[in-house]
A = this chain, B = another copy of it.
Amino acid sequence: MELQLPKGTRDFSPEEKILRDKIVNALKEIFELYGFVPLETPILERFDVLSSKYAGGAEILKETFKLRDQGNRELGLRYDLTVPLARYVGMYPAIKMPFKRYQTGEVFRDGPVASARYRQFLQCDVDVVGSSSMATEAEVITLINAAFSKLNLKVKIKANNRKLLNSVLVYCGIEKEMQEPVIISIDKLEKYGMTVVKNELKEQKIEETKISKLIDILNIAGNNDEKISQLKKILKDSGGLDEMGQLISLLRNTNIEIDFDVSLARGLSYYTGVVIEAFLSNGSVKSAVCAGGRYDKIISSFLGKGDYPAVGVSFGVDRIYDALIEKQEIKRKTSTKVYIIPIKTLNESMKIAQKLRDAGINTDIDLMEKGPSKNLEYANSLGIPFVAFVGKKELEENKIKLRDMGSGKEVFLDIEELIARLKD
C-alpha cells in the first residue's frame, strides 16, 4: 500500500481547516442574515437524475464519477448543488415560494487535474427559487457585498443581462447559429483583451461591419447611467436594458454601485437574465470569487413541470482562501488559548483545566508528563498564546505561573486571576 491521496483531492491540515471553516462560517452567517435557510442533500445521487436532459449537460457528465450500489443501481457523485436543488424542489411540492436556500458541500468532477482543478471541491451556493422580481437580483448582489465585507475583502461586482446581450447580437446582425460562439468570444474580453476577441470573431467569419458594430458597443464607456442611455439610443427597445436600469436603481437603496459590463456573458445556455461576477479589487487572485445569475428555465425544464424562476450565486472558497492567505490572514494551528504544564501535579492540573474550560476558555493540558522544555516546544509549535505551569510549591500558595508565549513575560496568578486574564 502506498500512502497517497487520490489524484485531485486534498487533505486540509488543522491550520488550513481552521481558516476554511472561518470562511464558510462567515458566509453562512451572512446567508442567514439575508433570510436564507440551510439545506443538505446527499453526496450520492441517482445517475438518471444527474444525467437527465436538463441537468448539468454532456460536458459535465463526462466528468461525473459513476458507481453502483450492491443492488446494482447506477449512482453518481454530485457534480454541483443545483441539480440536487432542482430535485429537492420537485420532490417537496409543499415548499413555500420563494425558497431561499443555501448549501455548502463537496462536489466531484473527474476532470483533468492540471492547472489546480480539483476532483473534490467545496461548493458554497445561495439560490432564490420562485421569484421573478428584479428585487431578487438586488438582494443577492447586496448579500455578495456583505459577504466580502465580512471577510474584509474589497470586491468589484460586475453585472450584465443575457437578454441585453441577445439584443446586442441581433442589432449587430449576428445570425442565430453564430450567437453562441460569438458570446463565448465576447466573454474573453476581460481576460485577453479586444485584439484577441476581434481575431476570434474574424476566424469565425463574422463580417467586418458586424464586428465593428459590436466592438463599438463593447467600447461604450462612462458610468452605469451613461452606458444605459447610450445603449438605449442604439438598441431602442430592449427588455434586458430596462432590467439593468431597474437593478441599478434598486441597488441605490443599499448603496451598491455595480460595474455594468456589456461583455459579461458567463457561459451559454444556463442563464436567462442578469449575470453576476465578483472580482477582488486587490491581490493576485484574478478569477471571479463569486458568480451566478438568473436561470429561469432550468428547474422547470429539469422537472418537466411548473414555473420556477431562480437566481443563484456560488462563492469560490478556494479562491477566497488564497486571497486571505495572500493578505496574510493569520493562520492558526489551533484555537487553544492556554496549555497547562503539570509539574508532578497531574491531579491538581486536571482540576485547573476543568475550571478554565467551565469558564469557556479553550484549554489543553499535557497528558504525557513530558517535562517543561518539551512541553514549551509543543505549545510553541502549535502557536498556543499562553502556557500555565502548575508546580507543587506555587500551588501551596494558590499560584499558577502564566507565561505569555509572545512576549515571554511570566506572572503568578491565582485561579480567578488566571481566568480573568485568559478571558481578555
Give the interface of A toward B (CB within 8 A).
1-14, 16-18, 20-21, 32-35, 37-46, 48-49, 52, 63, 65-67, 69-71, 73, 75, 77, 87-88, 90-92, 96, 98, 100-101, 106, 108, 110-111, 119-120, 128, 131-133, 135-136, 138-139, 142, 146, 250, 253-255, 303, 333-336, 339, 346-348, 350-351, 354, 357, 360-365, 367-369, 378, 381-382
Candidates B14, B87, B354; contact of A39 at CB < 8 Å:
B14
In the assembled complex, the Cα of A139 lies from the Cα of B349 at a distance in Å of 12
CB-CB under 8 A for A367 and B131, given A119-B44, A120-B43: yes
CB-CB under 8 A for A32 and B110, given A7-B69, A92-B13, A350-B250: no
Neighbouring B residues of A17 by C-beta, 8 Å: 37-40
Contact B65 A34, beta carbon cutoff 8 Å: no
Candidates B52, B133, B146; contact of A1 at CB < 8 Å:
B52
Contact A96 B378, beta carbon cutoff 8 Å: yes
Contact A90 B3, beta carbon cutoff 8 Å: yes
CB-CB under 8 A for A11 and B88, given A96-B381, A378-B96: yes
Contact A67 B67, beta carbon cutoff 8 Å: yes
In the assembled complex, the Cα of A394 lies from the Cα of B262 at a distance in Å of 40
In the assembled complex, the Cα of A392 lies from the Cα of B45 at a distance in Å of 49
Neighbouring B residues of A63 by C-beta, 8 Å: 70
In the assembled complex, the Cα of A133 lies from the Cα of B20 at a distance in Å of 32
Query: In chain B, what residue has the closest Cβ to A101?
Result: B14
Candidates B46, B119, B350, B362; contact of A253 at CB < 8 Å:
B350
In the assembled complex, the Cα of A363 lies from the Cα of B381 at a distance in Å of 43
In the assembled complex, the Cα of A73 lies from the Cα of B77 at a distance in Å of 16
In the assembled complex, the Cα of A75 lies from the Cα of B110 at a distance in Å of 12
Contact B70 A11, beta carbon cutoff 8 Å: no
Neighbouring B residues of A14 by C-beta, 8 Å: 37-39, 101
A72: min CB distance to chain B, Å: 11
Contact A367 B254, beta carbon cutoff 8 Å: no
Contact A40 B65, beta carbon cutoff 8 Å: no
Given contacts A135-B368, A253-B351, 10 further A-B contacts (CB under 8 A): A4-B91, A11-B42, A14-B101, A37-B333, A43-B106, A70-B110, A98-B367, A131-B367, A253-B347, A253-B350
| Contacts A/B (CB < 8 Å), 7 sampled | A5-B46, A7-B73, A14-B39, A33-B363, A35-B364, A253-B350, A254-B351
In the assembled complex, the Cα of A5 lies from the Cα of B73 at a distance in Å of 11
Contact A40 B11, beta carbon cutoff 8 Å: yes
Contact A6 B65, beta carbon cutoff 8 Å: no
Contact B35 A363, beta carbon cutoff 8 Å: yes
Neighbouring B residues of A66 by C-beta, 8 Å: 67
In the assembled complex, the Cα of A348 lies from the Cα of B250 at a distance in Å of 10
A415: min CB distance to chain B, Å: 14
Query: In chain B, what residue has the closest Cβ to A340?
Result: B35
A120: min CB distance to chain B, Å: 5
In the assembled complex, the Cα of A18 lies from the Cα of B102 at a distance in Å of 12
Contact B6 A46, beta carbon cutoff 8 Å: yes
Neighbouring B residues of A250 by C-beta, 8 Å: 346-347, 350
A38: min CB distance to chain B, Å: 4
Contact A71 B7, beta carbon cutoff 8 Å: yes
In the assembled complex, the Cα of A382 lies from the Cα of B101 at a distance in Å of 13
Neighbouring B residues of A354 by C-beta, 8 Å: 142, 253-255
Query: In chain B, what residue has the closest Cβ to A335?
Result: B32
A134: min CB distance to chain B, Å: 9
